[in-house]
Structure 1
Amino acid sequence: MSILSLKEDRPTPKAVYNWRIYACAAIVSFAACTIGYDSAFIGTTIKLPSFIAEFNLDSYSTGKQNLISANIVSVYQAGAFFGSILAYVSSYFVGRRKSLWIFSVIFIAGAGGMLAANAERGINVIIGTRALAGFGVGGLSNMVPIYISELSPPAVRGRLVGIYELGWQVGGLVGFWINYGVNKTLPANDTQWQIPFAVQLIPAGILLIGSIWIPESPRWLFMKSRRTEALKVLCWLRQLPSSDEYLMQEVAYIDEDISRYNEEVGTGFFKPFRCLKERSIQWRFFLGGSLFMWQNATGINAINYYSPTVFKTLGITGTNTGFLTTGIFGVVKTVLTFVWLLYLIDRVGRRNLMLFGSICGSICMWIIGGYVKIADLGNKSTGKMTPGGVAAIFFFYLWTAIYTPSWNGTPWVINSEMFDQNTRSLGQASAAANNWLWNFLISRFTPQMFDKMDYGVYFFFATLMLCSFAFVYFLLPETKSIPLEQMDRLFGTKPVSKANQIVMDDLMHLNRMQHVGEEEKPEYEYTA
């Protein structure tokens, strides 16, 4: 089997890979558009001349301006942290679909409130409403990956969850370019900075309308003993009749998983918390949360939220020039996300991509930091790009091209699939909360880091990327193509580097034996 082939755990009818699962994934991924847009637009919007003039930011010292910028950016992540945790509650009681609707409404309320800010009401209006919008988007970041993973066939699960990441990048692309556009075409009045704030309502509105059309997660319906409705949804998603062998096998997998869940955990809202006492579950929560720590350790969110500051350290001056360079950064990320989504994530695999990204990305960061140190732009800047500066920009874009198909969306894919039925909702809540926690820390302290560390910021992130290589190589198994119901088995199989192949060989062996009517002991065994 070639590296570019889809690897299936059992023979899969082509009808399973149909437009409905892609449409559902695309609709809910508009949530990611709002997240990506915010990460891109806010750092450049607060640098618009009209925004600075509206709130009289030039009257403050540099340190005070940095503090205001950090507060505007970071309260969004703080709100998202709590929203991602509360989404666990709503998903348990009202389901994935209604949770998407609820958190969409909350986000729209917060995003709309930002437009009420002006010089008279003060900048605190923006800070407060961004916290509310962050709460809504935090809940969405919890719900969307788990919803997609629960309706996905195993062989294309990475691709479908990857649509969430693609939405993130498309939103980011718009966010990176919109301020370049308004700064070039509009006068420096309040409309200039309000348009970027208003645009974030568009993807949120599409998600709100779309959440009325999409079905509930069939696995959640089975969990709630709504079997008739669950089977109807599953048949609709797979475009197969209930009598089809593939569909009956999938229902049998789900039933077996739920039966084990009821036996080991029991029913009730607080029952899953008992699982956290198990060492194997604690280990998986540690791995899932750590992935987002290492993702932020690449420096991506420092660049996303403060791209004008980053490009200034590389010698790029002027508002439009900085915005243009930032926009190109967004283009590179979006294009490479398409490659990651369509060809890499379900073929090359999650583990290999992150190992590659850690080593090659670290090399680029060392080179960029070395240039910033040698050039000493803070004391020697001439306002013109030097050959060394051009080389640094090249390695920055090369780092972007390496990071995007490796660490950008892969942690979301892994966290959406690595937890079993017993802990899936809790696991996704933990993953989303960890993402926003580390995101908050980076966004809150990046201005101070650049102020105090200068070129050391790049060396700092380069070192952490090397550490992330060791983390993935020694601790994280490959999850590609493994059914959700077999994740316990995967994470109990040693050695980590061969766990995926061992489990896949076992599943295909057992499937062959079932078809010929034989019963043989699996070639490999695993430890729980």
Structure 2
Amino acid sequence: MGRKLGLFRAIYLVSASCMGSFAFAFDTGIISGVLALNSFQEDFKYTHYTKAQKTTVNSNAVSILQGGAFFGCFLISPVASYLGRRTGLIVSSLIFTVGTILQVINSGTLGTFYAGRVVAGFGIGSATVLIPMYSAEMSPKEFRGRLGACFQLFFALGVMIAYWTTYAVSKDQPEGTNQWQTALGLQLLGSTLLLIGMCTVKESARWLASKGKIDKARESLKWIRGGEETPELQAEFDEILAGIEEEARVKENLTIRELFLPANRYRIFIAITIQLCAQLTGNTSLAYYATQIFSAVGAGSSAKLVTGFFGVVKVCGVLIFQTFVLDRIGRRVPFMAGAFAMGSFMLIIACILATHPVNASATGASSAGIACIIMTYAEAFSYNMSWGPLPWLYMGEIFSSRTREAGVAIGAASQWLFNFMMSQVTPHAIENIGWRMFLMFAIFNYAIIGYSWLVLKETSQHSLEEMQEVFGGPKHQQKHVEAAVHEENTQSDAKEAADPVKQ
């Protein structure tokens, strides 16, 4: 009973925290559809903008949220360090709620709307740092992979619901302010459920133990493992305490220099580059501009409907991966297989569009357009079987307790920086280079296969405390850390001896 209850509580905790991912995804899926609504354009006075100006507004509205998210990744770290992961997620949900309200207000000016996007981005960026961290620290080792993949599952659910919401309001809601406000206002669902969920779960046991709150840490671990005293519970708690004690022994205070020691430097490099690769697969561009892209590949007037089923494909991909694949074949194989599949489907799309150009005046999809749509679905399915769920899970696993906050923050900030880059580039690429955009993403995906083979290490079936061995070995790491500590202490003593005021 205790084991089953523990698994249920772990699933509930991870699901509650991943409502932050749902909110992020719903915004991702809803914004391009809202910007295309005539009611929104009328209220914000850019109905008569030129095509180039509308493209700029679209890219700004998407990318400005990512600017806020970039800074949110770093500014939430002190909160997560001193108040905890759970409290940090509560703060994130409140900030995102404020940003959503600013977006929903019919101010008649894009300035207020943009301000809301920045504030919401701050909340989303904060949540993306904390969710993989909190999930990894509270999940049992044997289910950590599947539970960690919930980040992408909830992302896919959010995108799917957003696509169908856009389709529904465009078809069933009369044109007017309420049309676009309904679509944007539903973003409050994710932030509200995140807030409620975080008020009903325990703080991270590893974070509590690192702050010296041993009794609370044990209670938290006991709660998340089902509430029973077992030898396995004691062994896990002893492992957590031993890991934290060892980290505290080799160095009291984390400094920037420690992040650049050999084993940590390699992990920081992975956290940054893995997020770059996730963006270079091209799937984020498909998510943000799905309606425009499906129009570009020949969906015609059915673009919004086709986009809705695009969301369904994403959810199916994550569910199948999470249920039948993850933790059975490790991490590196899905990374490589996913990149190969996505590259191949992108290449096929490029070849079809190059040989069968889209007829812009057509009202329905041609046979070539249907083929492109199927390949786009297949690409999205492949992404959600690999590079969708894995980077966030992998990033939450590879760092030690000492460096996890800083490492995940750097990785998440990198994701938003590269996300910003792609959201700026994609709408212009659709307009200017057409089918070559898909060829570009195909080349990127094939290059990512080599990256996965050469750079990434296997982390499945290892506890978080064992990652030191996976990424350099504890003795190797300890030698460098202790040398750095000795050097810092020597310099500090020399400065104090030379300071006449202190003497």
TM-score normalised to the size of structure 1? 0.87
Deviation at 1:34, TM superposition (A): 0.2
Q: Give the counterpart of 2:251 among 246, 265, 270.
A: 265
**1:432 maps to what in 2?**
412
State yes or no: 1:136 paired with 2:123: yes
Distance 1:461 1:17 in 2: 42
2:150–2:389: 8 Å Cα contact kept in structure 1? Answer: no
Q: Give the counterpart of 2:242 among 222, 241, 256.
A: 256
State yes or no: 1:395 paired with 2:375: yes
Q: Give the counterpart of 1:198 among 185, 198, 207.
A: 185
Tell me the secondary structure at the aligned position of residue 106 of structure 2: coil
1:17-166 equivalence runs, <5 A: 17-119=6-108, 122-166=109-153
Distance 2:152 2:365 in 1: 34
2:16–2:197: 8 Å Cα contact kept in structure 1? Answer: yes
Distance 2:190 2:15 in 1: 11
Tell me the secondary structure at the aligned position of residue 291 of structure 1: helix
2:298–2:368: 8 Å Cα contact kept in structure 1? Answer: no
State yes or no: 1:464 paired with 2:420: no
1:221-370 equivalence runs, <5 A: 221-242=208-229, 244-267=230-253, 271-318=254-301, 321-370=302-351
Deviation at 1:385, TM superposition (A): 2.6
Deviation at 1:58, TM superposition (A): 3.1
Distance 1:360 1:247 in 2: 41
**1:220 maps to what in 2?**
207
Q: Give the counterpart of 1:176 among 147, 163, 176.
A: 163
Deviation at 1:139, TM superposition (A): 0.4
Computed over aligned residues only, the root mean square deviation of the Cα atoms, in angstroms, reads 1.5
Equivalenced residue count is: 472
The superposition leaves residues 424-471 of structure 1 with CA deviations (integer Å, 9 ceiling, x where unpaired) of 111111111111111111112211122221111101110000111000
Deviation at 1:52, TM superposition (A): 2.2
Distance 2:225 2:299 in 1: 51
2:77–2:409: 8 Å Cα contact kept in structure 1? Answer: yes
Q: Which amino acid aligns with 1:159?
A: R
1:461-500 equivalence runs, <5 A: 461-492=441-472
Tell me the secondary structure at the aligned position of residue 364 of structure 1: helix
Tell me the secondary structure at the aligned position of residue 385 of structure 2: helix
Deviation at 1:16, TM superposition (A): 7.6
**1:516 maps to what in 2?**
none
**2:501 maps to what in 1?**
none
Runs of 4+ in 1 over 3 A off after TM superposition: 13-17, 380-384
Q: Which amino acid aligns with 1:124?
A: G
The superposition leaves residues 4-48 of structure 1 with CA deviations (integer Å, 9 ceiling, x where unpaired) of xxxxxxxxx945852111111111111111011011110111111
State yes or no: 1:372 paired with 2:361: no
Tell me the secondary structure at the aligned position of residue 463 of structure 1: helix
Distance 1:17 1:356, change over 3 A: farther
Deviation at 1:384, TM superposition (A): 4.0
State yes or no: 1:386 paired with 2:375: no
Tell me the secondary structure at the aligned position of residue 213 of structure 1: coil
Tell me the secondary structure at the aligned position of residue 98 of structure 1: helix
Distance 1:53 1:336 in 2: 38
Deviation at 1:340, TM superposition (A): 1.6
Tell me the secondary structure at the aligned position of residue 397 of structure 1: helix
Deviation at 1:272, TM superposition (A): 4.2
TM-score normalised to the size of structure 2? 0.91
Q: Which amino acid aligns with 1:246?
A: E
Distance 1:283 1:295 in 2: 18
Deviates more, 1:391-400 or 1:26-35: 391-400
The percent of aligned pairs where both chains have the same amino acid is 28
Distance 2:136 2:70 in 1: 21
2:3–2:225: 8 Å Cα contact kept in structure 1? Answer: no
Structure 1 residue ranges without an equivalent (≥5) = 1-12, 494-528
Distance 1:15 1:200 in 2: 33
Q: Which amino acid aligns with 1:26?
A: S
Deviation at 1:55, TM superposition (A): 2.4
